[in-house]
Amino acid sequence: MTTGGYDPNQNPDDGKKSPQDPYSQPQSPPPGSYPPPVTPPGGGYQPTGGSPAGPPPGNYPPPGNYPPPQGNYPPPQGNYPPPQGNYPPPGGYPPPPGNVPPQGGYFPPPPANDYGAGFGGPQLSVGAALTYGWERFKNNALVWVGITLIAAVISIGINLLFGGFSTDTTTSVSALSIIGAFVSLVVGILIQAAFVRGALHEVDGNKPVIGSFFQFSNVGAVILASILVSIATGIGFVLLIIPGIIVAFLTYFTLQFVIDQNQDPVTAIKSSASVISKNVGPLLLLTLTLIGINIVGALLCGLGLLVTGPISLIAGTYAYRVITGRFVAPI
């Protein structure tokens, strides 16, 4: 109950808030003109009250300094023609070993040397052929002289074996003579092929030993090709001497094509005639020169043939490799 309008339980400060009261509620500023809020640079803004707002919506890269992506960018879109020509593999690496073409589908030409080896080398000359034959023979003279003596002994032995029974009185002896002639022919062909095989080793840069001369497996093709050449040459000599000489000249490289390139007899004869007919001038001069030095060798009691024979074989095989554009090892 109050007396005189006074309530003892009432706080006299009720309804009054001191400006120093830390618990007083904030009051709105009085009306009036105020400057607009300051907008941060970059388009952002700081609203009054609440947490700061982020940037406007959109796709932005994550913050941080990142280097640009490295290498291997995709080519521009579109249909572009491929580059023309055969180019070597990138990186300047040498071609892989063996008889396998590198990238680009081509074989690089073999390097040319002073003796006409490789594509783009000098033309065939008699001097280069004779020099090549002499240098190769000189570096392996004992083997060449040895195989020549072996071949001579074999030939003489066969002729004595079958020719010693030669007589005109009985039929059996005539049959034996025919067999002896056939054996002599076959052995002579194999000896000639052995010499060609040895000359090919020399031109390849390999010094042959005695066994190297018989490293050919196509014996049947060798024998058949030689018989065909002998028949054609014999017919030419029977009809007229000049046709026989021409046939012998055009088929001179038949065994080289059979042994070196493994061609069949007919193809080898055609190949020999083709390349020789395209190089008649230098090959005719070389042939006459080789015949001349072998005549000189025969005049020296036949002993000179131990030297001139191998030189002629190596020089002739060298000429075959040059005119066909095949490899010739430098000396």
Question: From residue 224, how far is each of 148, 182, 287 by CA, in Å?
Answer: 24, 13, 24
- Is residue 260 assigned to a domain? no
- Is residue 67 assigned to a domain? no
- Is residue 278 assigned to a domain? yes
**Per this entry, what is the length of the chain?**
331
Q: 63 vs 95, which has greater pLDDT? A: 63
Report, as an integer, the average pLDDT of 287-308: 93
Residue 128 has pLDDT above 60, yes or no: yes
Share of the chain above pLDDT 90, in %: 50
- pLDDT of the residue at 77: 63
- pLDDT of the residue at 19: 47
- Is residue 115 assigned to a domain? no
Contact of 61 with 55, CB cutoff 8 Å: no
pLDDT digits (tens, 9 = 90+) for 141-197: 999 999 999 999 998 888 888 765 455 545 555 777 788 888 999 999 999 999 999
Report, as an integer, the average pLDDT of 128-148: 96
pLDDT digits (tens, 9 = 90+) for 226-265: 999 999 999 999 988 899 999 999 999 999 999 999 999 9
- Is residue 167 assigned to a domain? yes
- Is residue 35 assigned to a domain? no
Contact of 184 with 158, CB cutoff 8 Å: yes
- Is residue 191 assigned to a domain? yes
Q: Left if phi > 0, otherwise alpha if psi is -120 to 50, otherwise beta: which for 308?
A: alpha
Query: For residue 206, what are the domain limits?
Result: 126-216+273-323
In total, how many domains does the chain have?
1
pLDDT digits (tens, 9 = 90+) for 106-121: 444 444 444 444 444 4
- Is residue 291 assigned to a domain? yes
State the residue for tokens 């040059």: 322
In angstroms, the CA 91 to CA 252 distance is 46
